[in-house]
Amino acid sequence: PKSQKVERGERPGRLLPRSQNPEAAPPPRPFTRRVAAVAMGAGAGAAEEPSQTRRALVDTAAGAISGGISRTVTSPLDVIKIRFQVQLEPTAKWGVLRRDVYGPSKYTGLMQATKDILREEGLPGFWRGNVPALFMYMPYTAIQFTVLHKLKTFASGSSRTEDHLHLSPYLSYVSGAIAGSAATVGSYPFDLLRTILASQGEPKVYPNMRSALVDIVQTRGVRGLYAGLTPTLVEIIPYAGLQFGSYDTFKRSMMSWNRYRYGIEEDDSASSFQLFLCGFAAGTFSKAACHPLDVVKKRFQIEGLKRHPRYGARIESSTYKGMYHALTEIVVKEGFGGLYKGLFPSVVKSAPAGAVTFVAYEYISDWIGAKAGVE
């Protein structure tokens, strides 16, 4: 009868106690359970490791591509900025404190410099040094975004970009500073070559990157490829920290605005234009704060190197004994305005450069991640 089957525990889906079910398998021993747990953990780790590797490759590729795009788009402004920074003569009529120190200025303003470069060097002059710049920017941004994502993953315990937005803003600043330092050390020789080629003008002293590299190694040694690294690291720590920290802060604020303005609860992601504004603001803020150290870095990079006289006084070897001496020497001879030479083209360049980099990275990372099946 059906009632008997129910009493005997024979109803489909019902499990008898192990003591009443002779057909049940014996319980696993403690050692067996431990082995099974280790095997499950190893399987999960093995499954997670390829995912983390793919995520790192996605960050590297997206960072490299976005850096190359940003650098190529903003190269004309970068060339003008470098010409201003390495010019000992005043770069603006109103910024002259001591006109008797140096001779007449080659460049005295953004428009004047643009016209002169176009007339003397043609359009290619605005992309002078772009090849070593790409060799610098692509590994720089690749290392930077990869290290940044790793640090945020470590801090949040998750590799998902959405979870990184919940991190403390202070962690974003610290992660950005560490990532920027790592990227700077890894790509610095190309930064040096970029500065030299972009500053030389016409007629060229170095026809290509190889000739500049050989001359630097012969005259300065291998250490010459890292001339100016100290002020660069002193600059990049606050610069990268401010850039990435302020970008995350602006992005959070934009997402909060979306929730408040449109009542969006589930999907509050920022639009491409909002990401552009966040990158624009982050680039402007960080560059304006750290510009004097960038000027010092450029002076160390071209110190003692050949340059045609038409571009002004040459910075002789051992002109600056150190970073502090360079800062004081510039202030004494060129005034406080000397520390901000090239600030206007730098800000005009850095704002769209930061915007293009962040927007391109976000979209390229999402696209590559979707193709590779990485969240």
Confidence at residue 200, expressed as pLDDT on a 0 to 100 scale: 80
Question: What tens-digit pLDDT sequence spans the chain (375 residues)?
Answer: 444 444 444 444 444 444 455 554 454 444 333 334 333 343 444 444 446 677 777 777 777 787 788 888 888 988 998 999 888 888 775 444 455 555 678 888 889 999 999 998 899 889 888 888 888 777 777 777 777 778 878 877 777 766 666 667 677 777 777 887 888 888 888 888 888 888 887 777 888 888 889 988 988 888 888 888 888 888 877 877 777 777 878 888 888 887 777 765 555 677 777 877 887 788 778 878 888 888 998 888 888 777 777 777 778 777 888 888 989 999 888 888 888 888 888 888 776 776 777 777 778 878 877 776 665
User: Other CB atoms closer than 10 Å to residue 6's CB: what's the count?
Assistant: 11
Residue with tokens 């969006």: 264
The answer to whether the CB of 173 falls within 8 A of the CB of 241 is yes
Domains and CATH numbers, the chain: 57-247+279-372 (1.50.40.10)
Q: What Rg, from alpha-carbon coordinates, does the chain have?
A: 29
Q: Which two tokens stand for residue 352?
A: 């769209």
Return d(Cα 251, Cα 275) in angstroms, integer. 7
pTM: 0.62
Q: Which two tokens stand for residue 189?
A: 């020789």
CA angle 35, 40, 45 (to 5 degrees): 125
The answer to whether the CB of 358 falls within 8 A of the CB of 279 is yes
Helix, strand, coil percentages for the chain (3-state, nearest 5)? 75, 0, 25
Q: Which two tokens stand for residue 371?
A: 């193709």
